[in-house]
Amino acid sequence: MKNRDQIALDALRFIWSLIKNAEIDKKSELTDDEIVKVLRTEVKNRIEATAQYQKAGRSETVQEEEAKLAIIQQFLPDQIGEAEIAKLVDDVIASGEKDFGKIMGTVMGRSKGQADGSLVAKIVKDKLNSSD
């Protein structure tokens, strides 16, 4: 507020309202993991919105969405890298699992929300296709 950064202020207020609304829906306080899940959902929504605004040629709105996205991402834990995800996938496949859905579930559980689902899916598909 003191810096008069309206975009940051709007983003922070929006984050706060998302969390409060989720708590109202749940009828209790959210755990840290639940807050991270709410924020990750919002990051995904912001990325999709940015893509739509780019298609529509609304560059000013794209910049605003990207700025809000950067602020939201500051509150999320760091994502694990592709090499770490590949190692997790290799470990699960080495344990004898060959089902895509079960591998995805296990890897996403072990990564504790720090892995991007689309990246995990891509790596799992590549590993399963190369092992055939």
Note the pLDDT tens digit of each residue in 28-76: 999 988 898 899 889 888 899 999 999 999 988 898 889 889 998 888 8
Residue 92 domain boundaries: 82-131
Question: Is the pLDDT assigned to residue 22 strictly greater than 90?
Answer: yes
Show the CA angle centred on residue 86, arms to residues 85 and 92, nearest 5°: 90
| pLDDT interval class at 17 (50, 70, 90) | very high
Q: Is residue 19 part of a domain?
A: yes
Is 63 in the same domain as 10?
yes
Check: pTM over 0.75? Answer yes or no.
Answer: no
Cβ pair 74, 55 in contact under 8 A: no
DSSP single-letter state for residue 28: S
96 dihedral zone (left: phi>0; alpha: psi -120 to 50; beta): left
Is 15 in the same domain as 59?
yes
Cβ pair 60, 94 in contact under 8 A: no
Question: Is the pLDDT assigned to residue 129 strictly greater than 90?
Answer: no
Domain count for the chain, please give it.
2
Helix/strand/coil for 113: coil
